[in-house]
Amino acid sequence: MKRFILLVAIMSFILIGCQKIVYKEHETVMGTVTNMKYKKSYDRLIPLRSGKVTFWARRSYPERFLVTITYNDLSETFDSRELYENVKIGDNIPMELNSGYDEDYNLITRQLNLPE
């Protein structure tokens, strides 16, 4: 019974959240660098269990160069070494703002992307 309720809840969420994007807009805007963070690489041992036997496996996580860029109330974080090395907090940089609208021209999605 719990699985059925969970399945109904998930399907309702999926069906309600599915709005079709009819119109797309792409514009160039000036975003502001609001945060920069470097995370060094590290390894972690994780247990893997096979029956009654437990093995320890090493999992490596790469270094990350996180740069947060904000435009109005929209904020995106990018993992880019090149961007991290070439900007500082407070810099204004050109960004691509992608917006998606439904058939009544109601905003469905907005996303900041790095220009190509």
Per-position pLDDT tens, the chain of length 116:
666 666 666 666 555 556 687 788 889 999 999 999 999 999 999 999 999 999 999 999 999 999 999 999 899 999 999 999 999 999 999 999 998 988 888 888 889 998 87
Model pTM? 0.71
Burial of 72 (0-12, 13-18, 19+ CB in 10 A): exposed
Q: How far is it, in rounded angstroms, from Cα 100 to Cα 1? A: 38
Determine the pLDDT at residue 13: 59
Determine the pLDDT at residue 18: 63
Determine the pLDDT at residue 107: 83
Determine the pLDDT at residue 92: 95
For residue 51, is it left (φ>0), alpha (ψ between -120 and 50) or beta? left
